[in-house]
Amino acid sequence: MGKQVLFWPELFKETDKGLVLVANKCKKCGAVSFPKNELCVFCLGEEMEEVELSRKGILYSYTITRVPVDKWTAPHAIGQISIPENQLRIVAPLIMEDENDTFNIGDELEMEIAKYWDDGDNEVMGYKYRPVKKKGGK
Amino acid sequence: MREVVVLGIGQTTFGKTPEYTAIQLGVKAAKAAIKDAGIDPRELQVCYGSRVYDATQTIEDIMKNLGVTEREMHNCENACASGGTAFNLLYKDIANGVYDIGIVVGCESMTTCSKAGQLVGAAPGDLNGTMGITMPANHALTAHRMMATRGITLEDIAYPSVKNHRHGILNPYAQYRKVLTTEQVLNARMISDPITTLMCCPVSDGAAAAILCTKEYARKHTTRFIKVAASKVLTASYLPWDLDTVTRPTLTKLAYMAYEAAGIGPEGLDLIELHDAFSPEELYTYEALGLCKVGECLSFIRSGNAEIGGKHPVNPSGGLLSLGHPLGASGVRVVCEVTQHLRGEAGERQVQGAKTGMAEMVGGYLTGLGSPAVGSITILSA
């Protein structure tokens, strides 16, 4: 039995809440860089502080690719996810309940650590987002 | 800056021709351009090549077959905009007085390259690319935003593919010369929701070439001058986190740089050849280029403006959707297409009385930058 390894480990940080995504925030202009960059690409400031990204996001847009892409099997859902708390928009895989599942722009999402693909005996893990089901909703 | 004119053009038929190498296709296109220009190939002073996949010494290999050696030669890669970028480099050499005449040749064999059979993706190792952002997925994300924010339906998203195939029937260089209905486009196999396979440009091989020279040089060969009124290239900027991604700020900036240089605004364009790798892309490109106001692409298409015979015919060639998209070739091919119309030599697909035209090509995807990652725009006038 293999072990679980993280996709791009430098994107993550272990906290008492579990694994979170981390970014760099420029001390001068406040712009957030994800993935981290040593230099603030917006103002060229060199003093950066690490910030943890909120697990909560809003679905800005999505697509479901129906053919295999590289290591991903089909269907493979990806979204553009706005994280208003960190003033950031990122791209990440979305979790589908089944092959017929779909998404709605504006869906509230929550990040979780889930399997990306197998690499030999190892399971490669990364970040994915799952719609938060509203009470009484669909 | 000196005035630059298009002296010769040439291209292959676009289609699946694995029996030819990219170099052999490039030789055919270059030969056709040299014949069209009516010059001895050894007159060419500088040569540019454009190719994306498996490229090494592309232009040297092409030109050695045509008796042209011992020259300054360069090869250019800039994703789908490679051909437009190589054209721009040649244009600047001539405009700035470095050389008087030169050739640009774009070629690609998508059926035999190392990426054959795969969806075109982001740069290798790019974060979002690794997570499954391919070119169709990238445009599918924007298509869903258009549907959510502009009342655009799936039928509207299929429209550029239906229209461009209608145009492609008239183009002997096109790979697919058949009518597609909206239903056929919508019911085709889903690639990246809502983009179906018939909303994607097909896999294609092909090459195109253009010979540029000064007006003085051209006088020796012709009295008919197709002038390069502007040629510009621009890469994307970093994105504000809350940008409306349906807008294309860098493409708009690039277009207005070209309009200013040419002294011709969007209202003055008689035809436009643009990057329609995926059907919805053409819709937001109308807005980005200023062919209509932001948010008004629907009324633009419903008025028939983008059709041959309309106010601003878009992709009279049939576009990438009918021809296919050999990445390194397309940016040169659109210049050849516009030139044919301005000469009045575009046959059945001719835009009547065309005096000005735009050749646009964009490409690339990089995490953190706006999409497209790079664009090239040329404005030609008769």
Give the C-alpha separation, B94 to B92, whole Å.
Answer: 5
Contacts of B136 (CB under 8 A, 6+ apart): A65, B119, B191, B192, B195, B200, B278
What is the C-alpha to C-alpha distance for residues B274 and B316, in angstroms, rounded to an integer?
10
Pick from A65, A80, A82: CB nearest B132:
A65
Q: What is the mean pLDDT of residues A107-126?
A: 96
Contact B134 A65 (CB under 8 A): yes
Query: How far is Cα B165 from Cα B176, in angstroms, rounded to an integer?
Result: 7
Contact A64 B242 (CB under 8 A): no
With a CB cutoff of 8 Å and minimum separation 6, the contacts of B260 are B230
Burial class (CB in 10 A: 0-12, 13-18, 19+), B223: exposed
Tell me if B245 and A65 make a contact (CB, 8 A cut-off).
Answer: no
Mean pLDDT, range B130-145, rounded to an integer: 96
Choose among B119, B128, B193: nearest Cβ to A63: B193
In chain A, which residues have their Cβ closer than 8 Å to the Cβ of B145? Answer: 60-61, 105
Q: What percent of chain A has pLDDT over 90?
A: 92
Q: Is the pLDDT of residue A138 over 80?
A: no
Q: Which residue has the higher pLDDT, B347 or B239?
A: B347
DSSP label of A134: P
Residues of A in contact with B247 (CB under 8 A): none
Do the bridges between strand B195-196 and strand A108-119 make them parallel or antiparallel, or are there none, so unpaired? unpaired
pLDDT tens-digit profile of B21-30? 999 999 999 9
Residue B291 has pLDDT above 60, yes or no: yes
| CB–CB contact A61 B142 (8 Å) | yes
Report whether pLDDT(A85) > 90: yes
Contact B233, B361 (CB under 8 A): no
Q: Render the burial of B276-290: b for 16+ CB within 10 Å, e for the rest.
A: bbbbbbbbbbbbbbb
| Diameter of chain A measured on Cα atoms | 48
In chain B, which residues touch A (CB < 8 A)?
119, 121, 127-128, 130-134, 136-137, 140-142, 144-145, 148, 189-195, 238-239, 241-242, 245, 367-368
Distance, CA of A41 to CA of B372 (rounded, Å): 19
Mean pLDDT of the residues in chain B: 96
Q: Is residue A89 over pLDDT 50?
A: yes
Q: What is residue A137's predicted lDDT score, i.e. its pLDDT? A: 46
Q: Which of B47, B76, B80, B201 is catalytic?
A: B80
- Decide if B238 and A41 are in contact by the 8 Å CB cutoff: yes
- Alpha carbons A62 and A91: distance in angstroms, whole number: 9
Which value does ipTM take for this structure?
0.94
What rounded mean pLDDT belongs to chain A? 93
pLDDT at B153: 96
Q: CA separation (Å) from B183 to A101, B12, B189, B214, B299? A: 23, 31, 12, 49, 21
Give the Cα separation of B144 and B220 in Å (integer): 53
3-state DSSP assignment of residue B252: helix
Cα B149 to Cα B24: distance, rounded to the nearest angstrom: 46
pLDDT digit string, tens, across residues B62-79: 999 999 999 999 999 999
Segment A85-104 mean pLDDT:
95
Answer for the pair B25, B62: CB distance below 8 angstroms, yes or no.
no
Q: What is the pLDDT of residues B337-348, one digit of tens each?
A: 999 999 999 999
Q: Helix or strand or coil: residue B321?
A: helix
Q: Does A72 touch chain B (CB under 8 A)?
A: yes
d(CA B77, CA B327): 10
Residue B240, token pair as written in the block: 């504000």
Separation of CA A85 from chain center: 14
- Nearest CA to B275 out of B356, B362, B198 is that of B362
B283 neighbors B297 (Cβ within 8 angstroms):
yes
Q: Which chain B residues contact residue A64 at CB under 8 A?
A: 192-193
Local structure of residue B42 (DSSP, 8 states): G
Query: For A2-47, how does the pLDDT look when each residue is reduced to its tens digit (9 = 90+)?
Result: 899 999 999 999 999 899 999 999 999 999 999 999 999 999 999 9
**Measuring CA to CA, which residue among B92, B171, B205, B95 is closest to residue B337?**
B171
What is the distance between the alpha carbons of residues A44 and B131, in angstroms, rounded to a whole number?
28
* CB–CB contacts below 8 A, A to B: 84
Task: Give yes or no for residue A136 having a pLDDT over 60.
Answer: no
Which residues of chain A does B194 touch, with a Cβ-Cβ cutoff of 8 Å?
Answer: 63
Q: Identify the bridge partners of residue B104 per DSSP, sorted by sequence position.
A: B48, B210
- What residues have CB less than 8 Å from B152, skipping those under 6 apart? B146, B283, B297, B298
pLDDT at residue number B367:
94
Are the beta carbons of A115 and A124 closer than 8 angstroms?
Answer: yes
Digit-coded pLDDT (tens) for B275-286:
999 999 999 999
Of the candidates A35, A61, A65, which has its C-beta nearest B144's C-beta?
A61
Q: Quick one: closest CA in B to A40, which residue?
A: B238
Measured CA to CA, the distance from residue A136 to residue A133 in angstroms comes to 9
Contact between chains at A8 and B195 (C-beta distance less than 8 A) = no
B80 is catalytic: yes
pLDDT tens per residue, range A38-70: 999 999 999 999 999 999 999 999 999 999 999
- Could you tell me the sign of the dihedral formed by the alpha carbons of B192, B200, B111, B327, in that order? negative
- Cβ of B241 within 8 Å of Cβ of A92? The answer is no
Q: Is A76 on the interface with B (CB under 8 A)?
A: yes
Query: Using the 8-state DSSP alphabet, how is residue B257 labeled?
Result: H
Give the confidence band of B325 by pLDDT, cuts at 50, 70, 90.
very high
